Structure formats: structure tokens, C-alpha cells
Structure 1
Amino acid sequence: MIRIKGKGVSGGVAIGRLHFYENRRQQVERRHVADAAAELARFEAAAQTAAQQLGALRDRAVGEVGESGAQIFEIHQMMLEDLDYRESIADIIQRQKVNAEYAVAATGENFSQMFSEMDDEYMRARAADVKDVSDRLLRVLAGQGDALIGGEEPVIVAAGDLTPSETVQLDKGKVLAFATAEGSSNSHTAILARTMQIPAVIGLGAGLDRRYDGVLCAVDGAAGELVVDPDEQTLAALRQKQREDEEAEALLQSLRGQENVTKDGRHIDVFANVGSVADVGLALQSDAGGVGLFRSEFLYLENSDYPTEGEQFAAYKAAGEILAGRRVIIRTLDIGADKQIGYFQLPKEENPALGYRAIRLCLDREEMFKTQLRAILCASAFGNLAIMVPMVISVEEVRRVKTLLDGLKAELREQGVKFDEGIPLGIMIETPAAALIADELAQEVDFFSIGTNDLTQYTLAIDRQNAQLESLYDPHHKAILRLICRVVESAHQAGIWVGVCGELGADLSLTETFLALGVDELSVSPGRVLAVRRQVRACDLSRREEILAAIGR
């Protein structure tokens, strides 16, 4: 028996035979061509086929992991359409009079190297995406179909690494788990694996040897370990762990339809965060009380131009109708930072996390913003909708939004268009500035929702995607909890409610603390709704004063 340590990126235990997947990377030769125009046409045809494949993959991913999980294929489509990328390939073909395969391979290597040398960890992780797009083009040029993973019987798939395209094609009926020698926990592949609930361990290194192909193995995603040829005692322990996981899931399912109420009678709303209309169904399946964060970015990311009012109206209306009276909080456009869209033509920034994004961008591009607000207002006649504005730092910003809304409401009344006259307006508290003036902001809006991801990195001055600072990134820091406490107190004094929609909302070690602080709502990923409900029902707030004292309140 051999234990190989790696990093678990998707929990659960899987036991089965190891099957090594061969990444079908092309061996590319440089060939002179007499007709560069014909070779360029070959590339353009291959790019068109690759785009069709990515579209089909996106549709499949939507069905398995929802719109937000499928966004990687939209990103790949944008990479494929990127002018710099395509012009580089065309330039090599035309200037050097070489075959399209060589031009694609050379460009892919150059762009991948450029990404891998960037300071930002998220951007470094995109190097694998460039390789994925280039490999797809090479397969098309070679006349090969899409790579598929999995044999006739369920296996644990092993590889040096798996691209997002390969991961989403996993036949969940045949693949028990995957184990890779390389990989990043910040990669889209890891995110997809977690969303698809496939156990996964990455970073196994040279220990993941091909001589183990066909050998009975076990992947323990929680422990971040691959066990090769486990003995009977180890197998028994792992199977017991599987049973415990299944029992825990069954217990969670038994909480469907139950209230989110503590032992001493305190009630809290548990809502779901979703990335699109397709994900709204996941919120219903998870028995969430509503949608606490509807990310509207997908409407912009999946389009080649600004989405029309009609397109946006249809999406917001559908979300409201699906939830059938449950609240849907639509966050207005949050583009910028790590979410870039070509047709927005955003300027390059040295520090985009602190730059031109979210409400700053929307108030600067007022007509675009008014189109979105009008679509939400019109859709509010068909469901229980609310509007939430991200990245607010001042009262003036909120008042500008309210002025725009008042003008749009007046237009709709004049045109005889029905809408919810009392549609709630809220803001996200995700900057220290907003937290410190929460008492003033609370006089302007109907609710707060605390975005803990950005609030943490801005308060601690730590990039949460920088691996070198991982040991310092502490979302439990007293400074964060004190700011949250201040926000809750300000909200309640003004008679408005406050929620948490960042990743901390699903941190079960903080559930009791949030309840003690007086948080009214927790909005988490659909898969975490029942786990949070279980934790809420286990809480007894008789320790409230002790908890508050521990954070200095």
C-alpha cells in the first residue's frame, strides 16, 4: 500500500481502479507552405469548428453545473476570438509561410508563457486555458474529435493535469474521481469538479506513476490523498467514511421543508447565490428561501455586445416566476477586476481590484446602467424582485442610483407599464468605507448585504488569490467581525435588515457568530443551504454575550 499526498479540491471518497488518461497533445512540426492564404483559410475553418465545439460544451456544462460553472467555455470562446491571439497566428502563417499547426502551437506557447509570468495568481491560472484553446485548435486541424474520458466501467481518472474541457466531458456514470500530478486549486477545473461533486486530488507530483494504471486505488478528497493498492484495513476505513458521507447527506436531505430556527427560537433566512436563470432551479432544489444574490454578469459575458433591455427583462422575469413569490435579489452589473469583457473595452489597470468596476463603471456608462435598471423594474411586475448595488463607497453614489430609478419609474408610469412601486433597493457592503459609514447609508436603502470576500481583502490589504499570502489571509480576523457587527447595528437602528452573501456565509464555524451579531440572512451556494440550516438549528444563543466579548464588542 502506498499513500500519495496532494491537495484535495473536491471532497468525498472514491474507490476503484486507476485509469491513466492520455492528454492528446499534438506533436507539431514546422512546415513551409506555398499558399499562405489557403493555410490561413484552414485556420479560420478550424477556429469556426472549435467555436462550435465550445458552444456545445457550454450547453452540456450548463445542464451539469449551471451557468456560472459553464462560464469557462465562454471565456475559452472569448480567447478564441481574441484579436491579439488570432492576429498572432495569422501573422506567423503569412510572414513565415508556415503551416497553421505550427502557428497555433507557437502562439499558444507564447501566450501561455505570458500568463504564467504574471504576478496575479488568477491570471497565472489562465495559462492552462490558453493551452486548452490551442490544443483544441490543433485537434481540429488534425481531424481528431473531442477527447473523452472514462472506460466501460467506473474508474478513477489519473492524468498529469486535466483541462476544463476534459473535466466537463467526464461521464459521471463512469468516472468515480480524478487525481492529477499538477493543477491549481484556483483553476476552473477544480471549481467544476467541486460543483459536479466529483472527488478530486491535485498536486500529487511524481508519485502519480503510470505503473499504477489498472491498480485498485482510493481518492480521499477531504484528506487530499491517493491510496494505491490499499490493504483490507484501510479499505474498510475508507468504505466506512463513504457510508458516513452518505448518511450525512441523507440527514441533510431530511431537513428539507424545515425552518431555519435556533434552539432558542431565533429565525434566520437562508438563501442561495446563483449565477444565472439556469441556476435558479438549483436554489429551488436546495430548498432555499429565495435568491440572496443573482449575478447579472452572465447576461453580458455570454453576449458579443451589450444585452438589450428585452433580453435582460426575459431573464429577470423568468427568475421571478420560477421562484414564485420567493425573493430574488438582483445584483446590478459587477464587471471589472478579474471579469473582463472585450466589447466593454476597459482600460488596462495596474490594480484592477481597486479600479474601474461595478457601480463606478455603471454610473459612468449611464445609458447602459439605465437599460439594466429599466429591465429589472419591468420584470418586478412578475415576481418578488429586489435591486442590489455592488462596491458602494459613498452616500452620493446611492443617491445617484435612486435618482436614476426615480426617473425610470416616472417614465414607466407615463407609458402605463406596470412594475413594483415598492421594489426594495439595497447595497453591498464590501469596502471598509461603506462599513464605516453604514449608519448614513442605512438611511438611504432598504437592506444591506455584506460581501465578505472583498471586505476581507480590502480590510486586510491582502490579495485573496495570492498564494504567498495565504497564511495571512484570515476572514475570521477580529477587524472583519467588528466591521460586520458595526454594519448590523447600523442597519437595525435604521430599521432595515442585513445579510451576508460572501463565502463566509457558508462557513459553519461562524454561523453562531453571525446569529449572535444579529445577521438576518445568510446567502450561500445552493449546495450549502441544507448544511447551514442544520448548523442554525443546532445553535443556542445563550452564549451571545460571550461571543460578542470575544470579538471586542
Structure 2
Amino acid sequence: MAERRESDSRSLLRRLRDTLATPGGGQDRLDHITHLIADSMHAHVCSIYLFRDPETLELCATEGLNREAVHQTRMRLGEGLVGRVARTGQPINTGDAPSEPGFRYMPETGEEIYSSFLGVPIQRVGEKLGVLVVQSREAREFLEDEVYGLEVVAMVLAEMTELGAFTGDQNGIGATHRFPVMFRGTTGQEGAAEGRVWLHEPRVVVTNPVGDDPEAEKVRLEEAVATLQAQIDEMLIGSAAMDKEQRQVLEAYKMLAHSRGWVRRMCEDIALGLSAEAAVEKEQSTARARLEQSTDAYLRERLHDLDDLSNRLLRLLTGQGQDTGADLPETPVLVARNIGPAELLDYGRRLKGVVLEEGSVGSHAAIVARALAIPLVIHAHRITNEALNGDQILVDGDQGIVHLRPEETVANAFRDKIAMQAEAQKRYADLRTVPAMDRSGQTVRLMMNAGLMADLPSLKSSGADGVGLFRTELQFLIRSRVPRRGELAALYKRVIDAAQGAPVQFRTLDIGSDKVLPYMKPQEEPNPAMGWRAIRVGLDKPGVLRMQLQALIRASEGRELSIMFPFIAAPDEFYTAKAMLLREIDREASLGHPVPCDVRVGAMLETPSLAFAPDSFFAACDFISIGGNDLKQFFFAADRENERVRRRYDTLDVSFLRFIETIVARCAANDTALSFCGEDAGRPIEALTFAALGVRTLSMRPASIGPVKHLIRRSDLGALRDVIETARASGAQSVRHPVTAWLASQ
């Protein structure tokens, strides 16, 4: 019986494959396929539903239902039994479809006479393509073998859809890799770039979903699995220098690679007619759909292990992505699901832009992209499924939008934008050597943010007055182990040397939240942005913080040293960290090492609580730096990773500006220097408004210094202050419109 099932399945899959070679359009193929499946499974109905857009399924072909309903019947994701299959990625098998929860009756299809229903997802490695359905008049559940066989057929349909077998018809269904696509993501780093796609980990394309010789396919699979297992074992042999947690991760990796159940299921898929590659993808897709529904964080983490192992196995089977010798295009734009900081740094400034499916605005990749001044868009959902190496791509980091294979009119408009930005930067170059002084003679210090030695040449070319924020965590994030004190001291010394006397404010380690060190155990927290991060980690794990402070002291070589501690929420955190620094200075002096001639110690004000600390706290700080990105999200209770709320609240809201004024007043009363650091500091209108309210030091990315300086020099801060006061007195919720109207009149 099993042999007959395998024979029938292989026969059907071969007939499906032959359909690809049959002349005709995509609709003809779909119609022929539904007839073949219904006939093979002795079902009265076979229907194929494909996604017309990410939220809408459309009946694209049917054998047994009313033909007039094709391309007319549509449903939302999750709607009806078909929509449920699509949403969950799991089959539905019932002998009484109308009694199932969520059943939707569609009178135009004429399906009311069919009781039994079996629907399986058409999916490929996390990419949902549609749903395959068979129905019969008699009330019965389909057998387990029939369900499994239909899943195998759906896998082949997924590969055929991916290869474009059903495109080219007038309905425009499922056309991938051919037409212009726009992705709306999140701004990770501002800027605009045009280039060609370079996939960090190119997806493997399975061109032979059906296997002619099951035994030969099994041999291919077993040989590839053996090679994969040997590679994993080799990684473990070389893991002696790793810590316990890293080794545990590799052990879990090995256990999955040696799983007999995994290999057995793939062999069963091959017996039913799939090629070795298609069998790997089927099991990857099935497991992915199951794990994505899990609420267990550990199981969801294993999803990444499964994906990585499956992709390694596919590369072994196909040879794709292994020493292909392909070179980066002249204008590469990196496209990836995610990427580590070290890998991104390896590409360096050769990249014109970066587009990620995952990531966050505070992630390692975002920090490196800002350091390299590369436009970055994150949360570009499904772009790795759609993009191919060499595709034309436009990255609008300002708007968080990506255009893949754009139409010429879109590309021309985008090039005009880039040209205008380049022209503006040329004009700003003339301002490099002049101060940011307004018309009344008031001067604003404009500092730059940095995190790499490569940033330091920008200190001169941008016209910055110094480094207002040097992010020290990058040197920890790009290593697989904790850097040594000597390595850090040498780096910090080069930074101070390169600044040539200009001030540099070093921020101690800001890790935790979404910035987890490769050698640090991730902490499962319900709200990591408000969890164990920054100074909280430093005080709980003082060894690394002490080592970093020692490196900074030695790097100063007797010169001035400015250090600020991040994410201070209560004065005691600052006092404890400052006392630690002073003890390390005393210790270095007792060892006969040179110590800084002057030490300035500051705190980053990123939580509203700190603005209301006692005067004694402000008096104890040599300077305060407002961390605008975090402060704004906590002030408005609006997660900056959440696109639905992050743009909802305006920085120039009168309540937020009143709060900034409170901080300005507290610092002025205690003679404490104040600066504003964050994305808004580099936005000209916001920067000008902060300066008018009394914040006279702003720290931003180097490319923003020219535009901000230009606007300050053509404005009168006192007159703008009057505009702001008038707007607030009128009851305005935001001063943005009055400020922009005033600027337009100047």
C-alpha cells in the first residue's frame, strides 16, 4: 500500500512538472494542475488560492467549483477556513466544513454541496504564497497519507510559483522578481542611495523540485547531511576557547544536525517524489510554520538554528553561495534578513546602503551604519524573498522606503533628490571653518557622534567642534570575546590623538536592550528598552566597567578626559559610577601611571525621572547630555521601534519643549554644561528650536552639521524664542508650523 502511495505521488509530481514544459500562459497551467490533483486524489474539487497582496487571497483556479468565481472570490488573511490555513501555516482537515469555527460560505462558488475539506498551505521557507484545497461531497476526513501527499504537492506548487510558472497572465497573480516593488520600513540611518542589490546570504533557488530517482536523491541527501554534520563537529572541536554558554549553543546545533527524525522526514518526502533540495525546504517550511506559532521563546530561538542548518544543507546540495567568485557590484546595497556588526564592518564604506528585514533603530547594525554614514532601512518585510543579486534598488533612509526594480519615473525623481542633497552639501562645505553663530551673535557648539576610528576624519571635514558622543560599545560588539584593556587603551588613545585637542566625550558601555554582546547571554525581558541595560549592566557587572575606565585613563596620557555614564535614572547610579572612576584614577596614580590633568564626568539624561533629581545631583555633574531618542520615547510612552506610534508624537510638541526647558533651567541654576544628543539634534528645525530654548551644544551625525549650521547662521535665536512663546500662549499643541512659517519669512 505504501509503495502504491509513493508511486501515485511520484506519478502526480512528474505530471505537474511536465505541466511546466507545456506551452501556454500561467492560467492554463493552474487550470491543468487543479484537474490533475482532483483526478489523482479522487476528489470532487481542487482549488488554488494565491495571495494577491499580503492580506488578500484570491481564487485563481478550480476544478469542481463555479468557474465564474475564479479571480472574483477573495478573502482576507484569517477569513474562512482558507484564510485560517494561510494565517497559521497549518493544514485543516474536516469532514463537516460548515460546522468548523470561522467557516465562510461563498455562494458564488457553489461549494455548499461539498462537506469534506482539506486545505494545506502553499509556502516556502516562511514565505506564504497561498492555499491548496481539495473537497468531496461525502462527509469524511481525509487520511493521514492523503494530507501528507497534498503537502508534498503544495511544496512543488510553491517552487513552481517561485520560478514564475504562473505569471504572465492578465491577472497579475504571484509575479515575483520581475516588477517594481516598494517596501515601507523604518528609518535606521538617514540618507539616500541608489545601487544594485547585494544579498548578504543569497537564497537558494530550487530549480528541480521533482526527483526522478528516489534512491539517488536519498544518497545525495545523506551525503550532504554527513558533510554538514562533520562541519558542525569541527566547529565544536574548535570551541575550546569559547565560554560555557557559547558551547551549549553549538551543542544544541549539533543535536539538531544529527536528528534522525529530521533526516527520516526528508527521506519520506523524497520517497513521495520530491528532490533532495525540495525535501529540505518542505521540512524547513513545515517546522517554521509550527515554531512561529509557539509562545515558547526558546523554541522560537531554535527557528534561527533550523533556518541556518537548512540553508547550509541546501548550499551543499546545490553548490549555490559557495565560493561562487561573485564580486560586489560597483554600487552595492546590502540586503539581508539581519547582519552582525563585524560582518557589516567587513563590507565597510564600499556599501552605498543597507536594507534589513529585521533589526532595530538601536541595534548593532544601526550603530555601525550610522558610524559609516550609510543609509539604512530596517523592517523591510520580505525583501530577501523578492530581491535578486544585481536588481536596481533605491534606499530612502529619510522616509524608511525602499524601491526595488523601480520604474524610470520613480528612479529619475529619486536621482533628483540625491543631486539636490549633494549640491546642498557642497554649499555647506564653505561653512566648515566658521562658527554656528546666529545673527545676534549667539554661538551654538555643534559636535559630532562617532564610534569608529574611521569616523574621526569627519571631525575636520564636517566642521564639528568636537565629539559629543563616542560610542564605546562598538569595539565590544564586533568581537567574539571581551576586548583586552590594552587593546581598548590603544584605540581610545588613537581617538584622542586624532581629535587634535578638540573635546571628545566617551560614553561608557551602552549594552543590553537590543545591543547584546556576542559573548553575553541574552536576557529574556518583556520590555528590554526599559530593562537591564547600560549603566545597570555596568554596576551589576563591575569588572568590565572598571576595565574600560582603566583603559580610558591610560589612553589620556595625562591629557583632559571626559566620560559620561548612560541611562542614569537615579542619582545614586551616577554617584556609584563616578566613585568607581575616581578610585581607578587613584589606583593608576599609585602605580606610577600618568593620570588625566582634568577629568570631566557627566551623565546622560534619558529618563524623565532624572530631570527632577535634587540640585546636589546637577552640581555633582560636570555636564549633562540629553539622550533625546530614549527620553522622547519614555516621555510620550511611545516605543520608537513601533511604527504605529513612533511618528505619532512631535518633538516640537509644547509639552516636550517645556520639559526640555525644565532641564535647561536646572542645569543653568547649577552651572552644569548641557548638550542634546540624538536624531533630533541633527534635524535643522528641531536643532534650531532647542538652541532657541537655551540648549547651546548639540551632538549629531557628521552629515547633519552643515545643514544645522546653515540654518542657525541665518536665524535670530531671540526672535525665534518670541515666536515659540507666542505659539504656546495661543494654545498650539506644536510649534512646528509657527517655526517653519517664521523661517520661510526670513
The answer to whether 1:476 aligns with 2:652 is: yes
Partners in 1 of 2:654 and 2:668 — Cα distance?
Answer: 21
Aligned pair partner of 1:90 in 255, 277, 302: 255
Residue equivalent to 2:676: 500
Equivalent residue, structure 2, for 1:42? 231
Corresponding residue for residue 610 of structure 2 = 434
- Once residues 365 and 46 of structure 1 are traced to their aligned partners in structure 2, the CA distance between those partners, rounded to angstroms, is 29
The residue correspondences of 1:139-158 to structure 2 (distance < 5 A) are 139=315, 143=319, 144-145=321-322
Q: Could you say which structure has the greater relative contact order, defined with CA pairs below 8 angstroms and 6 or more residues apart?
A: 1
Query: Residues 110-135 of structure 1: CA distance to partner in whole angstroms, max 9, x if unpaired?
Result: 68986898899xxx999999968974
SS of residue in 2 equivalent to 1:340: coil
Which residue of structure 1 lines up, in the alignment, with residue 503 of structure 2?
327
Instruction: Give the secondary-structure state (helix, strand or coil) at the position aligned to 1:424.
Output: strand
Whether the 8 Å contact between 2:360 and 2:641 is mirrored in structure 1 is no
Match of 1:412, SS state, is helix
Contact 1:317 1:382 (8 Å CA) reproduced = no
Q: How do 1:453-464 and structure 2 match up within 5 A?
A: 453-464=629-640
Contact 2:437 2:713 in 1 (8 A): yes
- Which residue does 1:417 correspond to in 2? 593
Q: CA deviation at 1:530?
A: 1.8
Describe the shift of the 1:332–1:103 C-alpha distance in structure 2 as closer, same or farther (beyond 3 A): farther
Work out whether residues 148 and 169 of structure 1, in 8 Å CA contact, stay in contact via their aligned partners in 2: no
2:432 to 247, 256, 265: 256
Distance 1:273 1:30, change over 3 A: farther
Q: 1:398 and 1:158, CA in 2 relative to 1: closer, same or farther beyond 3 A?
A: closer
Q: Find the counterpart in structure 2 of residue 355 from structure 1.
A: 531
Question: Match of 1:42, as an amino acid?
Answer: Q
Does 2:479 match 1:303?
yes
Q: Which residue of 2 aligns with 1:452?
A: 628
Give yes or no for contact 1:316–1:379 (8 Å, CA) kept in 2.
yes
CA distance in 1, matches of 2:373, 2:599: 35
Which residue pairs with 2:449 in the alignment?
273
2:556 and 2:391 map into 1 onto residues whose CA distance is 57
Q: Would the aligned equivalents of 2:651 and 2:686 in 1 still touch at CA under 8 Å?
A: no
> Displacement of 1:156 after TM fit?
9.4
SS for the counterpart of 2:421 is helix
One-letter code of the match for 2:675? G
Alpha-carbon deviation of 1:421? 3.8
Q: 1:494 to 1:84 in 2, by over 3 A?
A: same
> What 5-or-longer segments of structure 2 have no aligned partner?
1-178, 210-216, 267-276, 732-746
2:184 alignment partner in structure 1: 7
TM-score scaled by length of structure 1: 0.74
| Number of the residue aligned with 2:546 | 370
Q: Secondary structure at the match of 1:442?
A: helix
Instruction: Give 2:480's aligned amino acid.
Output: S
**1:25 alignment partner AA:** V
Distance 1:190 1:445, change over 3 A: closer
The two structures, once aligned, show a CA RMSD in angstroms of 5.1
Structure 1 CA distance for aligned equivalents of residues 720 and 619 of structure 2:
31
> 1:183 and 1:317 mapped to 2: Cα distance?
35
Instruction: Find the counterpart in structure 2 of residue 59 from structure 1.
Output: none
Shift of 1:271: 1.1
Deviation (angstroms), 1:405 = 2.4
Distance in 1 (alpha carbons) for counterparts of 2:423 and 2:201: 36
| Cα deviation, residue 338, structure 1 | 0.9
Q: Partners in 2 of 1:465 and 1:493 — Cα distance? A: 35
User: Residue 707 of structure 2 aligns to a residue in which SS?
Assistant: helix
Say if 1:95 and 1:215 are closer, same or farther in 2 by CA, change over 3 A. closer
- Equivalents in 1 of 2:378, 2:573: separation in Å? 45
Q: Which amino acid aligns with 2:229?
A: L
Give the Cα–Cα distance (whole angstroms) in 2 for the partners of residues 17 and 367 of structure 1: 45
Q: Is 1:274–1:283's contact at 8 Å kept on the other side of the alignment? A: no
* Residue in 2 that maps onto 1:70: none
Deviation at 1:279, TM superposition (A): 2.7
The answer to whether the Cα contact below 8 Å between 2:364 and 2:477 also exists between their aligned partners in 1 is no
Cα distance change on mapping 1:526 and 1:93 into 2, 3 Å: same
Decide whether the 8 Å contact of 2:683 with 2:704 is kept in 1: no
Q: 1:24 to 1:338 in 2, by over 3 A?
A: closer
| Offset of residue 286 of structure 1 | 2.4
Please report how far the alpha carbon of residue 341 of structure 1 lies from its aligned counterpart in structure 2 after TM superposition: 2.2
SS at structure 2 position matched to 1:326:
coil
Alignment partners' CA distance in 2, 1:363 and 1:204: 38
Structure 1 residues 42 and 155, CA gap change in structure 2 (3 angstroms)? closer
> Do the aligned partners of 1:162 and 1:189 also contact (CA within 8 Å) in 2?
no
Query: Of residues 705, 720, 724 in structure 2, which corresponds to 1:543?
Result: 720
How has the CA–CA distance of structure 1 residues 119 and 259 changed in structure 2, closer, same or farther, with 3 Å as cutoff?
farther
1:504-543 equivalences under 5 Å are 504-541=680-717, 542-543=719-720
CA deviations on 1:20-76 (whole Å, 9 max, x unpaired) are: 999442549876648987652134558999x9xxxxxxxxxxxxxxxxxxxxxxxxx
- Offset of residue 396 of structure 1: 1.8
- Kept after mapping to 2: 8 A contact 1:183/1:202: yes
Secondary structure of 1:344's match?
A: coil
Which one-letter code corresponds to 1:316 in the other structure? Answer: Y
Write the distance in 1 (CA, Å) between the matches of 2:198 and 2:610: 52
Unaligned runs of 5+ in 1: 52-76
TM-score of the two chains, using structure 2 as the length reference? 0.57
In the alignment, what sits opposite 2:570? 394
Shift of 1:472: 3.0
- Comparing 376-385 and 415-424, the one that deviates more: 376-385
* Deviation (angstroms), 1:496: 1.9
1:504 is paired with a residue of what secondary structure? helix
Q: 2:582 aligns with which of 398, 402, 406?
A: 406
Letter in 2 for 1:90: M
Of 463-472 and 5-14, deviating more is: 5-14
CA gap 1:146/1:447 in 2 versus in 1, 3 angstroms = farther
In 1, Cα distance between equivalents of 2:722 and 2:593: 50
Deviates more, 1:185-194 or 1:513-522: 185-194
Q: Would the aligned equivalents of 1:392 and 1:431 in 2 still touch at CA under 8 Å? A: yes
